[in-house]
Every structure is written in structure tokens, then in C-alpha cells.
Structure 1
């Protein structure tokens, strides 16, 4: 664990997903906490304690949130990897990350400067800015046939009664030359990229284009918006998604899981589903999204909320701990920065996206992950094709093709 107060500076917070517009050009890094799998302590408790020491009110999130005002600390970026989320609830950790330079939990506290700061130097944490951007061939962590076999193994686990649903994720990486930051910033162009932005550290940068809300908290109300169900963004694709019993069953199962997740931190009887199976567009795909809400129980802090929702149910499965065991047994490499959380915590509330459609550049490679939920009715070839369809827009933007 990186000691509190050891704060490498990487520029302003203008690129952080979820940061309020008023803070973009005035926020400057004050301090940072980093935690890796195997470090001591409960990462959720460490995050809450670190933010509390820096003046952010995260010990009781049931009350009305404040105003941006002129706080010395304007907020913090929070990143939690899939493995970090699993550690918060004692779940199976899975294989090591293929991008080990990135910590499993990162918290960056920003102070509000009186004047606009100059932009961060191009290249940021990288010393790779000379020469044109080039991306090499993609190297996959598993073949399509091995992916299809893993889908079949999940179906067999469901038939045995071990699990109801498991989300399987594949990984690919490509060597690069040049500065990766402009390529990562291109991800913000993807339609539906609600959590578009970048978080940097020494020797790594995360680029996010996620459409999915993992956790939003404002004025004592918590919200999660699970996405599950995918089809091509055509009129026929939309009709197929709406009519598919398999996609709807997969979706409802995860909504029920996340209703249960929020119930652990909710005022009794306050869990609601205001919106169910709404079809929305991300890049060239339709996706089904629901909204699950609750009133936060008095005395509930950030640590308890993170343990309730991490790792996200839409990227694990049901029951969550059993699904994590299947994932650890089947996926050949760790999920790294994907299937975790990235966003902003400030005086006005919390807004964390689920890190689907998320990329990391380390000192050598750019890494991409994509997958989907597997049910008893899943067709292995269709699941392999769906994962490829989700990764395709991200890969194209990284190559500079769109």
C-alpha cells in the first residue's frame, strides 16, 4: 500500500469521469492512496478513512449532500479493479492482471486552486511521446474455441445448480509506439460513453468509455443502473432484443441481484426499480438498462456501500460469490482495470461508473477486455461474437480508424 500523503502529481483532474465541470480546470492533485492485492487491510475501509482524513464526508451517506462551494478539497477520483472489488467481499481473486503496473485501488484527492492551472504535459506519466502513434497486432488471452468451451462449462455449472448466471470476460493486448494518451482520449467519442475520461499513474493510464452506472449517491439516495442484454443498433436488432426471452431473463436476474445488493445498505422497504429493461444505444449496439434505487440507511458509510455493490453484479453473475469462483477457474488472465469502478467522489455526491469498455496502457501494451453474461440458454458461438462486437468500437478508436 502506498503511504498516505505520498502524492506524485500528474496534472489537473480535467479528464476524470464524473468530475463536476466547475472543478475541471481548477483541481490539482494533493494526495494519493494506492492498494494492491496482497497488501494489508480492507481496501474499502482504507478508502473511506483516507477520504475522511482529507475532509470528505463519506462516513454517513444517508444525509443531504453539500454544495460545491469553495472547499479546499474539491473531491477525489476513485478507481477499484475487479480484483480489488472481489477483495472487498472476500471473493475469489482470479488470475493475475496482465497489466500489473496498475494498482487494484487508487484514490486521488484534488484540491481546488484559486486560478486555472496550465494543462498537464503531453505524455503525462509516459516517456513514449516521441514519434507517431502506432498500434501492433492484437494478442488474445484465449482463442474463440477456448472462449466457447468456457461458455459451455458455465452452462454445465448452471445445470448442476452451482450458479444461475456467470459473466465471462476475455482480454487482448497490442504493443504500441508513441503517446497513448490521445488514443485513450478518443474513447470519449463513443456514443453513450457516460463515464468518458482518463486516470493516470506512474507508467499507466486508464481510458474509460463506459455507459454503465455502478453507484450514484446524492442526498441520501443510492442508484445503480445495470446493463445486460446486447443487440446490433438497427431497427431489427432493437426488436430482437425487446422480444428475446433469453436476454430479458438474463437482465432480470441481474436486476434482482442488484436489488439484493442495495438492500444491505437500504432503509427497510425503500428499494425500488423505477425503470426496467430500457433499451439504449452504446456505439453501434443496443443495450438493455434498468435503474435500481434505495434510500441509504443512516450511519452507512462509503466502505459499506462499496462492499454492497463491488464487484458489479452485471459483470460477475448470481450468486455473486459463486460466480466469482467460476470466473477465477475459467478466465486465463485477470480482469485488470475492467469490470471495476472509476469515477468521482465530492461534496455533492458520488458518481462511479462500471469499467466496461475500458482500456489501460502500460509501459508496453494497450489492453482491452470484453465479455458477456452466460445463462443456461446461451449459445457459445453467439457469446463469442457478442464479446467481439463490444470490443470492436474500442479497438477501432484506438487504431484511429474512426
Structure 2
């Protein structure tokens, strides 16, 4: 049972900062922030979940069955992540590439303390075991002096290295194109890692800088002991609200311009770009097929096709696909039958995953996985882990990866330049 309290806050942005700083004392933290992007698909402005009462941590083997059992037994709020390598749990695949980060394949926890922010209202949920701490915690949060906390102790000065150099990237994209021309696949999302070894960063300050540059609708700060995710994700993977399922794949990216006329032209060019539209439509077809596994007959609908959304760093082409499920459908089954998300794999999905596994140098891990939550009612909401910095503090290893969809119309140089556009914010934050 949870003790709940609701109250209004006059300065919600300041309260969000106080909450995030207060949460740093815990070993298990999930912070989700919409940066005030509000539309018909939104639930909360921001959420903070901290301090595990129970948890599940496992490798990919039978991972979704274990998660289903944990979610069914707990029937409470659960927060955590799914790594890309859970693909090995749903198909006969493997992940043998280099892994400098070593995140567990799946982790979820039942938070003792939970804060849900919607508009100017804060809803606090404390488990019975700690509900006597609520009043003192709320006083501590209110008393926090954010101005004194937000000084940058030392700017990052990270020497970022390329796991894959430009010529090798071109060779590998051409190898993907050979598979496409042979008819093995139509599209593959091919990724590369940028990394730094023997490096120390301040995770929260790094997240705040990244968030300030990007202001994305699915920002995430996650901590699991000595492992951190700082994410400026613009993409929702999948959401369940009642019996409605919503997936919003992104495919198609254009840079921004400070010149308003040029910026509008870049947006219009993206909306009409045949290559970008074809990428997006291929993934929409894949998502429709994935959702059909659990959908009631005839309920899969494309609500938005190739809509262009604008964010501080980039314009993005987003589609929205929805379906309805039966009340008897287990929520974890909806995730297991759609994972990994099509925007990070390609089509056909299994062949694309086999090809990119063979060509990429790095195990993706949490990159191109998902972070989110289950509610006590079995609803859920998960983002796609892109535009993200990952950090293993014990190993002093920092990493970010970027990728793009390779199709028959792809030009290796253009794809490489698109990767650099996507990497810009992470590189700025790390290299100062």
C-alpha cells in the first residue's frame, strides 16, 4: 500500500530541479522529463522514482518471462530499462561485440518514493515502509537552494575517440547497401560508438547541460549504482493507456538553422524528402506488423504519417501508430512482441538485426533500448534510448552512439554527416 499526498506548486520548474538534486542520494534513480511537450499522447510533465524496495536484474535469458512474473506479482509502480540485447530473448540472436559499459540486460525496481508532476500539481506516493519519512523529505526538498547546487564544479574536458573511423564507416555502409541490393533487407539502422576511457564526469551536471541544449520530450536521468544514463531522447517507443497502445517511431532527421527562413525551408525539405519518407514508411509498416501480434482485429491505425516535429537541435519526422488490445492481454507481452523497436533495427527485422550485429563494433546495451515504467494498473510508457550519454563510473568509461537508417537510396557521406548532426549535443557537452 502507498500513502499519497497531492499539492500545487507555484514554480514547477524550480521544484523539478530541487527534486532531481534531492534524488541524487539514492542508488536507484529514474527521472523522466517531458520538458513541457504536451499533446494528446502525454501523461506527465515529469516523474521521479527513487530507492528500490524490490527489484529485478537479469541477463536476456527468459528476461521477458521473468519481467512478466515480477510485474504480475508486484502490481505496483515499476521503473527501469530494457537493453537492446533483449533481442536475444525473443529471437535466436546473440550479442558478442565489445561492451565497455556492462549494464545488466534488464533492470526494474519498485520505488519506495515516487513523485508524479502534472501541470502545477505534484502527486507523492510513498510505500508504507517509508511513509513516516514523507513530511521530512518534503521539507528537505523545499529547503534545497538550487542556485548553490547548480554550480558547475569543473567543466567536462573529455577526449572523445571514434570506435569506427570514417573510411571504415563508409565500407560498412556499403556492405549494408550490398545486402539491400541483394534483397536480404530493405533497411537497416547502422550505429557507431564514440567513447572515452579513464575519464571522470559529473553525471547530473552532464545531464543538465545535455537537457538544456536539447530540451527533448523524453529526457531521462537514470542511475543504477555506479552506472548512469543521461538521455535527451526525442522518441517514444511504446505506450499503453487502458486498452490503447501507441508507438511513435522517428525516421528522418534534418539540422536546424538560426535563420528563420532557412530553418523553415529545411523543415519543408525534410517533409518532402522521398528518401526520408520512404525510411519512415518502411518502419511504420514494421510497427503495424509488430502491434498486430496483440491487437484486436482491425484495430491497428496510423494516426500520423511522416509528421515533422521541431526540437532545438533538429527537425524529426515522426509517425504515430496505435492499436487496441484485449483486457486479458498481459502488458509485458505487448512489449515482448514489439521489441526491439523497429526504428532502431530495420526491415525485415530479424535479418536486419543479424546484419547490423555482424557489422557494428560495439554491443549496443542500453543504447537503442528503452527506459520507462509500469503503473499498478498495468499501463506503461517507454522511450527510445538515443541522443544519450552512458557512463560506468567504476570503469571510468563514457560512451555515446549514433546511427541512421540505411536504405537503397542512401549515400554513405550523407549518412555519416547525419550521424555527426545527431552527435553534436553529446559532443558539445562532453568536450566543453
In the superposition, the TM-score normalised over structure 1's length comes to 0.83
- Report the structure, 1 or 2, having the larger helix content: 2
In 1: Cα distance, 2:92 partner to 2:237 partner = 18
**1:198 match:** 221
1:99·1:336 contact (CA, 8 Å) conserved in 2? no
2-structure distance, mates of 1:47, 1:96:
25
Out of 157, 163, 188, the residue aligned to residue 135 of structure 1 is 157
Q: Deviations over 1:144-187 (max 9, x none)?
A: 11111111111110111101100000101124335333212332
Where do 1:79-90 residues align within 5 Å? 79-84=81-86, 86-90=87-91
Deviation at 1:280, TM superposition (A): 0.8
Shift of 1:131: 6.8
Query: Partners in 2 of 1:299 and 1:170 — Cα distance?
Result: 40
Residue 262 of structure 2 corresponds to residue 243 of structure 1: no
Residue 384 (str. 1) matches residue 422 (str. 2): no
Contact 2:191 2:402 survives alignment (8 Å): yes
SS of 2:420's partner is: helix
Aligned with residue 164 of structure 1, among 183, 186, 200 = 186
Stretches of structure 1 that go unaligned for 5 or more consecutive residues are 1-8, 57-74, 120-129
- Give the equivalent residue in structure 2 for 1:15: 31
Over residues 7-29 of structure 1, what are the superposed CA-to-partner deviations in whole Å (9 max), with x where a residue is unaligned? xx92575624579569638x542
Residue 225 (structure 2) pairs with residue 224 (structure 1): no
SS at match of 1:134: coil
Q: Which of 160, 166, 173 is matched with 2:195 structurally?
A: 173
Query: In structure 2, what is the Cα distance between the partners aligned to 1:136 and 1:305?
Result: 40
Q: Which residue of 2 aligns with 1:51?
A: 71
C-alpha distance in structure 2 between counterparts of 1:397 and 1:240, whole Å: 29
Cα pair 1:91 1:325 within 8 Å, conserved: no
Cα–Cα, structure 1 residues 376 and 224, in superposed 2: closer, same or farther, change >3 Å? same
Question: Following TM superposition, by how much is the alpha carbon of 1:393 offset from its aligned partner in structure 2, in angstroms?
Answer: 1.2
Q: 1:389 to 1:44 in 2, by over 3 A?
A: same
Deviations 1:246-270 (A, max 9, x none): 1111110000000001000100100
Structure 2: which 5+ runs fail to align? 1-24, 35-42, 113-124, 142-151, 257-262
The separation in 1 between residues aligned to 2:273 and 2:232, in whole angstroms, is: 27
Structure with larger Rg: 2
Would the alpha carbon gap of residues 144 and 218 (structure 1) be closer, same or farther in structure 2, given more than 3 Å must change? same
CA RMSD of aligned residues (A): 2.5
- Structure 2 residue 419 is matched with structure 1 residue 395: no
User: How many residue pairs were aligned?
Assistant: 361
Q: Which of 322, 332, 335 is residue 303 of structure 1 equivalent to? A: 332
